[in-house]
Amino acid sequence: MNTYIEELGIDRLSVADRLRLLEELWDSLADALDSMEFPGPLKAELDRRLASLRDNPSAGSTWEEVKARLSRKTEGKP
């Protein structure tokens, strides 16, 4: 296990709490990511995925759907 995770006590959180923490961390990065520069191949892949999303927005899952799916898996439900 990562020692930084252990130092912060994250390894002692429940899966649900770690998922909430992950969501909060991701949200805290949203503004920073807007101004971040990505290497060429990564930027090209991100642009491709954004274009795909724009072309077919219903093809993916919403964040709420993903969270619900993860919650069901952590609770042992199908």
Domain parsing of the chain, residue ranges: 1-36, 37-78
State if pTM tops 0.75: no
CA 8 to chain centre: 20
Single out the residue of 18, 15, 19, 33 nearest to residue 66, CA to CA: 19
* Predicted confidence (pLDDT) per residue in 24-72, tens digit: 998 888 777 777 888 899 989 989 999 998 999 888 888 999 999 998 8
- Angular region, 76: left φ>0, alpha ψ -120 to 50, beta rest: left
State residue 77's pLDDT score. 67
State residue 75's pLDDT score. 81
